[in-house]
Structure 1
Amino acid sequence: MPDNTVDTLIDARWIIPVEPARQTLSRHTIAIDDGIIRDILPTGEAHAKYSAKQHFRLDDHVLIPGLINLHTHAAMSLLRGLADDLPLMDWLNHHIWPTEAKFVSPEFVRDGTLLACAEMLRGGITCFNDMYFFPEAAAQSALSAGMRAAIGMIVVDFPTAYAADADDYLSKGLAVRDEFHGEPLLTFTLAPHAPYTVSDKTLAKVLTYAEQLDLPIHIHLHETHDEIEGSLKQYQMRPLERLHRLGLLGPNLIAVHVVQANTEEIRLLAEHGCHVAHCPSSNLKLASGIGPVLEKLEHHVNVGLGTDGAASNNRLDMFAEMRLAALLAKGQSRHAAALPAHQALAMATLHAAQALGIDSLTGSLVIGKAADITAVDLSAPETQPCYDVTSHLVYAAGRENVSHVWVNGKLVLDERHLTTIDIHELNARTRFWHEKISNQKSFSEGQP
């Protein structure tokens, strides 16, 4: 007879805990209580040991840690497809930034972030690292969706509808952090946008706050060749060297993209324990290039995966990023064993959690960690037969195979139905913004 009652038992055909690496458990069960993984054990033993308020029997499924999107601009989901097939600076200067100047508001960020949360949860993502204006609205949407988030306190040196100057950005961001202090699903980062939008003086202030408050620094870095050339012209040094001289390189730095990096710069990142958020789809779509991921891994730089925003990807799809990262590494190196499936999965889970400093909480299925769990159904013809379940996750399965998602032990996706988000209401809000932005865009372009 069962001698313990827990909140939830999940029986699964397979469990890939990610930690330890390369381990696959067959016919095992996860016991969840108070949002925490209480036990992982063979299913027969679980049934003998525990009773549960909820019991899920997922006979054709694999359980993995909830995926972690290490870099995105969630609210930009409302700008998906607005301006495609353009180089980065043209895309930013002539399309994205002018549109944002007209429309970005707390309501825009609230609705856009909720739209992103719906997409991400349906794709097995349980945590995202965000960088955008009005972070309070982003935090509120993440909480209402029941999703874990690292909220970026964005900083730039030019005025927007959100803030007047760098000090205003920092002041407002820190106030949001204070407001949500103690929320178990939220952490915070300092998010200077990029070296070309933030001055030395502002970067020095960011570093001071990061050291005082023990916060990660989340920044775009070495994304394009133009960024490098602009820095050489303005500062007579490459952006990474500039950050190094300012003292920003360290284990709390999450450098996003790092496409244009030489061996010496990769060694510098490794020496200082920096992390990299690799966003292969966005880098290809904006023609920024293919980052030297294998060289970073060879130098023991911790690399996680991100989608970037839906305006430049155009999907918040971590299954696509895992597959693309692995295939690009193989093609780039001409080595078929490069970046194997188990490593791609670790980059989308544990390595991303390590970059955010939350790996003691999430990123792997370990007793004592939060129950952030994604179930993937491998029963469809497209995923049959299954000889290697980790390989299938990266090369055969997709986000459409995600059936259930738990965040902190709470079921937020049940047989592909969101339990925390009203899709009809969300679609209505999305149509509202689409109409509003489309009308303005048509007017500005002189279209009828």
Structure 2
Amino acid sequence: MENVDLIINARWLVPVTEDQTVLENHAIIIKDARILALLPQQQAKQLYSANATHDLNEHCLIPGLINNHAHTPMSLFRGLADDLPLMTWLNDHIWPAEKAFVSDPFVETGSALAIAEMIRGGTTYFNDMYFFPEATARVVDTSGLRASLGIVVIEFPTNWASSVEEYLHKGHQLHDHYRHHPRINTIYSPHAPYTVTDKTLEQIITNAEEMDMPISMHIHETADEISQSVVEFGVRPLERLKQIGLLSPRLLAVHMTQLNDQEITWCAEAGVHIAHCPESNLKLASGFCPVAELQKNNVNLTIGTDGAASNNDLDMFAEMRQTALLAKAVAQDAAAVPAHNALEMATINAARSLGLDQEIGSLEVGKQADIVAVKLSDIETQPVFDVVSQLVYAASRDKVTDVWVAGKQLLNSRQLKTLNESKIIQDAQQWAIKIGSLGK
């Protein structure tokens, strides 16, 4: 009998593999941070002994969810400026608040608040775009979560950097510091076509090729962005980006609510990945990403929450539900984006977009043991005819009871194991007093 680190027994197991199988009364065997085996519980008892065993016979196990677009420190701006269009929200509220408050301590506190929220919601990896990423990295390191942290680039000065050269220099310092870290990656994050020049984008494309890194960018978020580009450049943003060579499998295009048939074809041909942020797009009235049409063209679709300042939560269960429901309404097709497809977008598709699908995104032998347990025995999720349907259409993030990353437990029966919940709340409340005084 082989001794292993951990055995998790569960009523259901959803590996998120191509055959869309659901396993019943199975166990996950974990050794050295990776999945050693998936097999029936009785067989597991015969073959393995474990240092720890969890019996979750009212639960479904799924891969850790991947939030593929976030601005985690902006959790401290949650509810600060609601019910406004994007550019009014940015120009009149968010950018002034950032100028007044964003700093290393602000980002550390906001990141801790966001990461705690994400762990409690079953998110084990997030792709972040924000200033002072070194502060976010410290919290990621402590928390046990995984992240891609953005090398943010924007053409105007902020509290973090004063020039493109400084943004890139600081970002490259972050990359060098964490390049061998097992859970922290870096990603180029130019802000948007309207805030980054062709020259800067061409430099980022060259760097990304040399360093073998992905690029994430807000693109085609609003109709105003399109019309401004036509006036300034004579073409829509995606055509401009195509001309300079940005469209490629390295690109993770965020939002993409304004797409025509030609642009969908370009994305499909170039292998572009898309991070769909349905709740933020709805709240800011930015538009509708044509998810069903993109799926028909085999474009790799993923899901992100955006920041809590424009959502106002970091709830990937809500985003999966919105993704499926909104796609059906926009396509006028009830069969568009079935539940399992929505789950794929929040797991394996996102891993693929980041070049990590051999490590995370599904529960398969050899992959990292990033696992989420969802309790399905409560009133709200009974009866269970289809487990994946329950996960996407009925379950909420408060049904997440336990979370593991690389086999290490970060959430145990809804209690955080690596972060101090009371301190996070106290620190956030102190910042709220400061932020609330703005303009008074």
Q: TM-score, normalised by structure 1?
A: 0.98
| Correspondence 1:104 to 2:102 | yes
Partner of 1:91: 89
Residues 21/285 of structure 1: CA separation in 2 closer, same or farther (3 Å cut): farther
Choose which of 56, 77, 80 in structure 1 pairs with 2:78.
Answer: 80
CA apart distance, 1:20: 3.1
Q: Which amino acid aligns with 1:232?
A: V
| Correspondence 1:194 to 2:192 | yes
Aligned mates of 2:190, 2:355 — CA distance in 1? 18
Q: Secondary structure at the match of 1:116?
A: helix
Partner of 2:281: 283
Q: Which amino acid aligns with 1:262?
A: N
Aligned mates of 2:256, 2:157 — CA distance in 1? 27
**2:327 touches 2:337 (CA, 8 Å); kept in 1?**
yes
Partner of 1:230: 228
CA apart distance, 1:344: 0.4
Deviation per CA, 1:287-314: give whole Å up to 9, x if none.
0011101111111100000000000000
| Correspondence 1:71 to 2:74 | no
| Correspondence 1:408 to 2:406 | yes
CA apart distance, 1:71: 0.3
Choose which of 386, 389, 404 in structure 2 pairs with 1:388.
Answer: 386
| Correspondence 1:317 to 2:277 | no
Deviation per CA, 1:98-146: give whole Å up to 9, x if none.
0000100011111101110000000000000000001111111111111
Q: Secondary structure at the match of 2:119?
A: helix
Unaligned runs of 5+ in 1: 444-448
Q: Secondary structure at the match of 1:215?
A: coil
Partner of 2:130: 132
| Correspondence 1:153 to 2:163 | no
Q: Which amino acid aligns with 2:222?
A: T
Deviation per CA, 1:11-43: give whole Å up to 9, x if none.
000000001331000000000111100110000
CA apart distance, 1:422: 0.3
Partner of 2:329: 331
Q: 1:264-279 maps to which residues of 2 (within 5 A)?
A: 264-279=262-277
Q: Which amino acid aligns with 2:435?
A: I
Partner of 2:161: 163
Aligned mates of 1:31, 1:7 — CA distance in 2? 8
Aligned mates of 1:437, 1:303 — CA distance in 2? 36
Partner of 2:421: 423
CA apart distance, 1:416: 0.4
Q: Which amino acid aligns with 1:217?
A: I
Aligned mates of 1:312, 1:253 — CA distance in 2? 23
Q: Secondary structure at the match of 1:69?
A: strand
**1:154 touches 1:169 (CA, 8 Å); kept in 2?**
yes
CA apart distance, 1:436: 0.4
Q: Which amino acid aligns with 1:27?
A: N
Partner of 2:347: 349
CA RMSD of aligned residues (A): 0.7
| Correspondence 1:116 to 2:114 | yes
Q: Which amino acid aligns with 1:12?
A: A
Aligned mates of 2:200, 2:332 — CA distance in 1? 42
Partner of 1:446: none
Choose which of 21, 31, 40 in structure 1 pairs with 2:19.
Answer: 21
Q: Secondary structure at the match of 2:330?
A: helix
Q: Secondary structure at the match of 1:319?
A: helix
CA apart distance, 1:254: 0.1
Q: Secondary structure at the match of 1:316?
A: coil
Q: Secondary structure at the match of 2:301?
A: strand
Q: Which amino acid aligns with 2:60?
A: V
Unaligned runs of 5+ in 2: none
Deviation per CA, 1:227-271: give whole Å up to 9, x if none.
001111111111101111111110000000000010100100110
Aligned mates of 1:395, 1:326 — CA distance in 2? 9
Aligned mates of 1:20, 1:409 — CA distance in 2? 24
Q: Secondary structure at the match of 1:132?
A: coil
CA apart distance, 1:334: 2.1
Aligned mates of 1:361, 1:140 — CA distance in 2? 22
Partner of 2:434: 436
Q: Which amino acid aligns with 1:263?
A: D
Q: Which amino acid aligns with 2:66?
A: I
Q: 1:188-267 maps to which residues of 2 (within 5 A)?
A: 188-267=186-265
**1:21 touches 1:342 (CA, 8 Å); kept in 2?**
no
**2:290 touches 2:331 (CA, 8 Å); kept in 1?**
no
Partner of 1:61: 59
Q: TM-score, normalised by structure 2?
A: 0.99
Aligned mates of 1:258, 1:328 — CA distance in 2? 14
Deviation per CA, 1:371-401: give whole Å up to 9, x if none.
0000000010111110100000000001000
Q: Which amino acid aligns with 1:286?
A: L
Q: Secondary structure at the match of 2:438?
A: helix
Aligned mates of 1:254, 1:333 — CA distance in 2? 23
Aligned mates of 2:438, 2:260 — CA distance in 1? 43
CA apart distance, 1:188: 1.0
Q: Which amino acid aligns with 1:401?
A: K
Q: Secondary structure at the match of 1:138?
A: helix
Aligned mates of 1:228, 1:251 — CA distance in 2? 23
Aligned mates of 1:112, 1:47 — CA distance in 2? 43
Q: Which runs of 4+ in 1 moved over 2 A?
A: none
Partner of 1:308: 306
Aligned mates of 1:216, 1:59 — CA distance in 2? 39
Aligned mates of 1:340, 1:63 — CA distance in 2? 19
Partner of 2:44: 46
Deviation per CA, 1:60-110: give whole Å up to 9, x if none.
100000000000000000000000000000000000000000100011111
Aligned mates of 1:315, 1:231 — CA distance in 2? 31
